[in-house]
Copies of this chain bind each other. A is one copy, B any other.
Amino acid sequence: MDSPFAEYLQARRAEVEAALAAALPTPPACPAVVANAMRYSVTAGGKRLRPILCLAAAEAVGGDRSLALPAACAIELIHTYSLIHDDLPAMDNDTMRRGRPTLHVVVGEAMAILAGDGLLTEAFALLARAPDTNDPAIVARKLRVAGVVAAAAGATGMVGGQALDLDGSRRPSGLRATGLLATGHADFDADALRVMHSKKTGALIRAAAVAGAIMGGAPDATVERVDAATGDFGLAFQIVDDILDVEGESVELGKTPGKDAAAGKPTYPALFGLDAARTMAAECLERAERALGAAGLADSRVMDIGRWIVNRSN
């Protein structure tokens, strides 16, 4: 990673974290008990990959990144809520996240569920209210972004991916008899794995870049290429996550390595082997570079972020 890019990431991260802190609801409008719980998780750090990608996309298409900052923050709020709910005892039952106790360990399950619900809802409140303008062109962009983000975060996207993951790896016996758990993933093959991850992880990463491009005023053809390229970013992100789970150190990851394998979850290294998984991540990057190149964005920070996704160590 070149030093100017590291500086770029640091500057954007600081911008995002300041905006996140300012965006969270506070007492008296919001009860302190839930405001504090939301803030605990939002300020826990993290790479801030999605919001930085959103800002980078807005800049890459020649837009004013301040217009994209609320969307960047909204997407990070959604990412944070998804971690809180994923960590719950009924879900992944994780007690540590980013080196700190998970929210439900600190405030109890009920308040953690509510804090997650609050963050998800606040994301849309933020998309609706900011940037604060009556300019019909910006109003239309904001509404379009709200639709893109909701589709990516909901049951057709992230929530659906999480449901597939749950259904595939931890099916409680007997539920299938109700007819409600009707899908069959007894053999989680490569295609099912790709679909699951494209929803669970990929959809929100794509939405971040697409939201940035839309708020930046990109024409539809450019938005589509950004969408395609960052779909490959999302896939690469997950492949690298799986590789790091096999190779990683607990300190760097901030979570327990080997957990996926221990839980019997399907992973890219498990299905294809480590070397093939590494090759697949590199191929994602090549496809993304071609898609961005077709929009004249191959030399943008968006592409640098793709390289960062693949070369990261945590």
Interface positions of A (Cβ within 8 A of B): 25, 29-38, 40, 81, 85, 88, 90-91, 106-111, 113-118, 120-122, 124-125, 127-129, 134, 136, 139-140, 142-144, 146-147, 149-151, 153-156, 159-160, 162-164, 166-167, 170, 172, 175, 178-183, 199
Contact between B91 and A113 (Cβ–Cβ < 8 Å)? yes
Contact between A154 and B36 (Cβ–Cβ < 8 Å)? no
Contact between B154 and A33 (Cβ–Cβ < 8 Å)? no
Picked from B88, B111, B143, B180, the residue with its CB within 8 Å of the CB of A106 is B180
Contact between B111 and A166 (Cβ–Cβ < 8 Å)? yes
Q: Please, which residues of chain B bring their CB within 8 A of the CB of A111? A: 163, 166-167, 175, 181
Picked from B118, B143, B149, the residue with its CB within 8 Å of the CB of A160 is B118
Contact between B113 and A90 (Cβ–Cβ < 8 Å)? yes
- Give 29 CB contacts A-B under 8 Å: A25-B156, A30-B160, A31-B163, A31-B167, A32-B182, A33-B182, A34-B163, A36-B180, A36-B182, A88-B110, A90-B110, A106-B180, A107-B180, A113-B113, A117-B117, A117-B154, A118-B163, A120-B121, A122-B150, A124-B124, A124-B150, A125-B150, A128-B146, A128-B147, A128-B150, A129-B147, A136-B136, A136-B139, A139-B139
Stoichiometry, as copies per complex, reads: 2
Contact between B150 and A121 (Cβ–Cβ < 8 Å)? yes
Contact between A155 and B109 (Cβ–Cβ < 8 Å)? no
**Cα(A273)–Cα(B179), bound, Å:** 46
Picked from B35, B40, B107, B143, the residue with its CB within 8 Å of the CB of A155 is B35
Given known A-B contacts A90-B109, A125-B151, A33 and B164 have beta carbons under 8 A apart = yes
**Cα(A56)–Cα(B178), bound, Å:** 38
A31, A120, A124, most chain B CB atoms within 10 A: A31
Q: Please, which residues of chain B bring their CB within 8 A of the CB of A178? A: 106-107
The distance from the CB of A135 to the nearest CB of chain B, in whole angstroms, is 10
10 smallest CB-CB distances across A and B, nearest first, come from A128-B147, A121-B154, A118-B155, A125-B150, A90-B109, A34-B163, A136-B136, A124-B150, A118-B159, A128-B146
The distance from the CB of A108 to the nearest CB of chain B, in whole angstroms, is 5
Contact between B180 and A118 (Cβ–Cβ < 8 Å)? no
A33, A108, A151, A199, most chain B CB atoms within 10 A: A33
Contact between A34 and B155 (Cβ–Cβ < 8 Å)? yes
Q: Please, which residues of chain B bring their CB within 8 A of the CB of A113? A: 85, 88, 90-91, 113
**Cα(A162)–Cα(B31), bound, Å:** 10
Closest B residue to A154 using CB positions: B121
Q: Please, which residues of chain B bring their CB within 8 A of the CB of A120? A: 117, 120-121
